[in-house]
Structure 1
Amino acid sequence: MSALPTDAVTAGGSAAEAAPTAVGGAGGRIALRERGASLASVVIPPLLVFAVVIGVWILASQVILAEDKRFLLPPPWAVVDVALLDGHNRAELFTGLWLTTKAAMVGLLLSIVVGMGMAIAMSQAKWVERSFYPYAVVLQTIPILAIVPLIGFTLGYDFSSRVLVVVLIALFPVITNTLFGLLSVDQGHHDLFSLHKGGRVTRLLKLQLPAAMPAIFTGLRIAAGASVIGAVVGDFFFQQGTPGIGVLMNTYASELESERLYAAVILSSLLGIAVFLVVTWLERRVVGRWHTATRGTR
């Protein structure tokens, strides 16, 4: 058999070496386009909704409302100018927001610790669940607005009372979702641990808690939003001391300071969104894609 010409071998080798590079480059460009399309699908819809909301706001404040009632719905630029660009108003709003944030975060952390502790205890002993779960349900069904004045009368109107209101609102979602996750583990997995003589603590740490993580974080997301609501509700009722964002809302509403009132409402909403996003980020770090309940949804 005659040998191939040197030029042919060289050309063939160059083509063989260039082919993977071309394929890899094309694959990288395709992956980049897919990531860009995925990012656009996540970012563009909320931006479109935001633009529509701002457009409706401007239309209502400038066209729909009568001239003598437009002060009730100031345009977005008036809210930004009066409430956020003015140094005094901005400092007042962000100071109140910080105090409300502290109450919400401390109450949320306490709710997580107490709620998960109670749920774990209920999952390990049926008599504990029968003893305490009905009271958790009763606590959830009592209107919080009826409890808040009682808290003020008995415990005072300081920071701890605000935190207690947050705990009362955010506790139930943590308990119910954590308990649901712990009790929903497949029986076959329990049988496997029993076969290998896994103890109660081992079963809890290596089976029940990991399997319950999606349900736990569902409860945490609900509790995150509820914690901000509880902090604002506490501010509305506990007027003493340094005012939080809820106290400022009440003051602005009574004084017909519509620009500052809308700014306070928007900042409170942004606080709730921020807390929710932090919990969602933690869920993705802890749960990620490994759990069957999150596959195909991330």
Structure 2
Amino acid sequence: MTTTVQSAGTTPGEMATAAPAPARRRKRRGTLVDVAAPLAILAVLIGIWYAITYLVLEPGKRFLMPPPQDVITEAFLDGAAMERITAALAQTITVSFTGLAIAIVIGMAWAVVMSQARSAERSLFPYAVALQCIPILALVPLIGFWFGYGFPARTIVCVLIALFPIVSNTLFGLQSVDRGMHELFTLHGAGRLTRLFKLQFPAAMPAIFAGLRISAGLSVVGAIVGDVFFKQGTPGLGILLDNFRARLQGPELFATILVAAALGIAVFLLFGWLGRLAVGRWYDQSRDPA
């Protein structure tokens, strides 16, 4: 026989309202930690920056790492400098997203072909690994010789850098479907395309978007690397970095570096958000601790 003990003056509705309070407190503490920890690390990094500038470097060499306030006043608050950086940022975004789009089409098609037959995977996957292992700097002269030194060459560099994570993650996702689900589709007489689009692709979405997040950041790197080596056409962030370096314009150089880093973080977060929209909360919640 079970006895229920209820404190005097407490109604069942009040008990139901009070029950989730610890969970709400834990969630609030988790949110505070998520905000405070990155800010604390940022403060430490800025402190290290100041220490290097004023304690390590001699006054005559502080252009190598100008203090943060100089970067703000001489670059971010300077209209002419920001106009150049903004124009270069727009060009880098165009190149990186064009290369990323092409890499997504090629990489996913490549992975789908390999997922359909073991012989296709054994035949094609080594070339994807080889493409990843070849230093991109070794291919840059050939790319410039074959495709010129403008927009197409920079886009090709982005494709080559961003391709492998899409291929490998998409292939992993397509092959990670539970065998029991395959047997269920076989029992119902599902064709190859039905199995691919209604079983494999939905199950592969978390892995696909993990690859897209990585490739999105790499495409920005590819656009900047292509700029540094292909100095023709509309300048991007890479050309601007090289120009500021050659002219010893430290504040403008660091401002451009920070803008390039912010662009990489932005595209990473963008594809993380798109992944949450496509996959939903079911995948993330399955990994949350109880």
Structure-2-length-normalised TM-score: 0.90
Q: How does 1:193-212 map onto structure 2 within 5 Å?
A: 193-212=185-204
Per-residue deviation, residues 238-267 of structure 1 (Å, max 9, x unmatched): 101111000000011111111111111111
Q: How many positions carry a matched residue from both structures?
A: 284
Q: Quick one: distance in 2 between partners of 1:75 and 1:294? A: 45
Q: How does 1:155-166 map onto structure 2 within 5 Å?
A: 155-166=147-158
Contact 1:170 1:224 in 2 (8 A): yes
The match for 1:113 is 105
**What is the one-letter code of the residue matched to 1:222?**
I
Task: State yes or no: 1:138 paired with 2:139.
Answer: no
SS at match of 1:246: helix
The match for 2:259 is 267
Q: Quick one: distance in 1 between partners of 2:40 and 2:158? A: 33
Any stretches of 5+ residues in structure 2 without a counterpart? 1-7
Contact 1:289 1:295 in 2 (8 A): no
Q: Quick one: distance in 2 between partners of 1:29 and 1:138? A: 55
Given the alignment, which residue of 45, 54, 65 partners 2:37?
A: 45
Given the alignment, which residue of 216, 222, 229 partners 2:221?
A: 229
Given the alignment, which residue of 233, 237, 240 partners 1:245?
A: 237
Q: How does 1:1-298 map onto structure 2 within 5 Å?
A: 19=11, 22-23=14-15, 26=18, 33-291=25-283, 294-296=286-288
**What is the one-letter code of the residue matched to 2:131?**
L
Per-residue deviation, residues 207-251 of structure 1 (Å, max 9, x unmatched): 111111222122112111111110100000110111100000001
Compute the RMSD of aligned alpha carbons. Answer: 2.3
Per-residue deviation, residues 2-31 of structure 1 (Å, max 9, x unmatched): xxxxxxxxxxxxxx9983564465467666
Per-residue deviation, residues 43-76 of structure 1 (Å, max 9, x unmatched): 1110000000001111211222122211211000
- Bigger mean CA deviation after superposition, 250-259 or 33-42: 33-42
**What is the one-letter code of the residue matched to 1:64?**
V
- Bigger mean CA deviation after superposition, 269-278 or 67-76: 67-76
Report the CA distance between 1:294 and its aligned residue: 4.9
- Bigger mean CA deviation after superposition, 186-195 or 270-279: 186-195
Q: Quick one: distance in 1 between partners of 2:17 and 2:285? A: 35
SS at match of 2:266: helix
Q: Quick one: distance in 1 between partners of 2:9 and 2:278? A: 42
Contact 1:115 1:171 in 2 (8 A): yes
Per-residue deviation, residues 183-217 of structure 1 (Å, max 9, x unmatched): 12221211111111111111111211111122212
The match for 2:3 is none
Q: Kindly tell me: are residues 291 and 198 of structure 1, through their superposed partners in 2, closer, same or farther at Cα, counting changes over 3 Å?
A: farther
- Bigger mean CA deviation after superposition, 116-125 or 133-142: 133-142
Q: Quick one: distance in 2 between partners of 1:24 and 1:88? A: 61
Percent identity at matched positions?
A: 50
Any stretches of 5+ residues in structure 1 without a counterpart? 1-15
The match for 1:8 is none
Report the CA distance between 1:268 and its aligned residue: 0.5
- Bigger mean CA deviation after superposition, 122-131 or 49-58: 122-131
Structure-1-length-normalised TM-score: 0.88
User: After the TM superposition, which segments of 4 or more aligned residues of structure 1 sit over 3 Å from their partners?
Assistant: 16-35, 291-294
Q: Quick one: distance in 2 between partners of 1:86 and 1:24? A: 58
